[in-house]
Amino acid sequence: MKDKCKSIHPILGAWFDGELPDHKSRRIARHVEACPACRAEVDRIKALRSLLQDGFAAAVTAEDEALSSLHQRIMKRIPERETKNRKRTGREGPLMSFFRFRRITLPMAVTAMLVAAVFFTIYKPAPSVIKTGSVNDCIVDDLESGGRTVLLFKTHGSAMTVIWVVGNPDT
Amino acid sequence: MKRKRVPVSEEQEWVRRSRKGDKEAFSRLVEKYRKRIYNLTYGMLGNREDALDMTQEAFLKAYRSLQGFRGGSDFYTWLYRIAYNRVIDHYRKEGRKRHVEYDDTYVPSDEESIRTSPSSYFQPGRELDRKELGRVINNAIQSLPEQQRAVIVLREVEGLSYDEISASLGIRRGTVMSRLHYARQRLQEILKPYLKEGEIHEG
């Protein structure tokens, strides 16, 4: 074997497979065209491929039936994932299954939190009970007439005015 | 060997539906690839029972792992990878891993060739019927180091490119080229009686 052939020999198969870069491939093509020994090697690679393909086709074609049964066995061993899901959602009812839907649950939760945050920021309930100790601080005016006392005062945190009539109307 | 090609988008749809638990879609994938996966497992193991078992395990494992398949690679290279790994596991379990440290340049000695070659089938000049041809090819492939078997099957029988083989087996492209070269050398030597300058002796 010539030196040139020796260097090409290990990559002749890759050349035959079309797996070499263009510049290298062109160089080998020129050599193979001119070299009977390398052409014979390419022929052997080609013949080997045909032989292997025929051998496999012969072995595997005989297994068509076995592969068909195998297919059925595989499908039998695969769990019914969809059916299980359907049973579960059936028990929960349509509303729960709706909330289970992941794409809706998360945005809804975030929206609900935002609405709650805005509500509690704006809303401040008026005090329902005014402590006695703080009444004097709020008194705006007091009027006394005919045994009755009228107190006017404002509640904390709002502009509401409260009129409180104290005393016995009969006296 | 010609392969029937299904448009990628259709296959992607089968994969997408399979991931959601659609058995019918997965069945289409099994139908398309069962023979190809069997080719690989049979080529690596050399006996039909083990090859059928490994093919089944590979598809079941693929179904369970579909959530992890992001479509970054082709479905069939991902499937080949699963099948290949199943067979490697099988080798380990069965204690059949003869060449623990794989030497890609490994070529058996003459004595070893005689011992491992199915010499009884090699009768120069004799034509083969199809059944015998299948047996001859199988014995020749089984005489290769285990990791060369997968490469030769994926290239010569399945027609994968070097990049596809690299992705399927998780090895470098250069390693594919090297293993293929040594496997071809070895097979040419063993099958010499049936290879006559491009002609094939076949019945």
Q: ipTM value, please give it.
A: 0.79
Domain residues for the domain of B136 are 110-200
Residues B89 and B114 in one domain: no
Residues B29 and B79 in one domain: yes
Residues B78 and B119 in one domain: no
Residue in chain B closest to A86 (alpha carbons) equals B21
Q: Where are the alpha helices (DSSP H) in chain A?
A: 3-16, 22-34, 36-61, 64-77, 81-100, 102-122, 132-138
Distance from CA of A117 to the nearest CA of B (A): 38
**pLDDT at residue B5 in the model:** 59
Name the most confidently modeled range: A109-118, A123-132, B38-47, B124-133: B38-47
B71-87: pLDDT as tens digits: 767 899 999 999 999 99
Angle subtended by helix axes B8-19 and B23-45, to nearest 10:
110
Residues B114 and B196 in one domain: yes
Label residue B120 by pLDDT band (50, 70, 90): very low
CATH of the domain at B161: 1.10.10.10
The token pair that represents A116 in the structure block: 């709650």
Q: Is residue B48 included in any domain, yes or no?
A: yes
Chain B residues 180-199 with a CB less than 8 Å from chain A: 180-181, 184, 187-188, 191, 194-199
Residues B27 and B51 in one domain: yes
Domain edge (last residue) among B54, B69, B94: B94
Q: In this predicted structure, which of A157-171, B24-38, B178-192 has the lowest mean pLDDT?
A: A157-171
Give every residue of chain A whose pLDDT is below 50, as ranges: 82-92, 128-133, 135-137, 171
Q: Is residue B101 included in any domain, yes or no?
A: no
Q: How many CB atoms lie within 10 A of CB A7?
A: 11
Half-sphere exposure of B125 (CA within 13 A, CB side): 0
Residues of B in contact with A77 (CB under 8 A): 56, 60
**Cα–Cα nearest to A37, from A2, A63, A11, A75:** A2
Q: What is the mean pLDDT of chain B?
A: 82
Q: Is residue B99 included in any domain, yes or no?
A: no
Determine the 3-state secondary structure of A126 from DSSP: coil
Q: Is residue B105 included in any domain, yes or no?
A: no
For the segment B178-187, the average pLDDT, to the nearest whole number, is 97
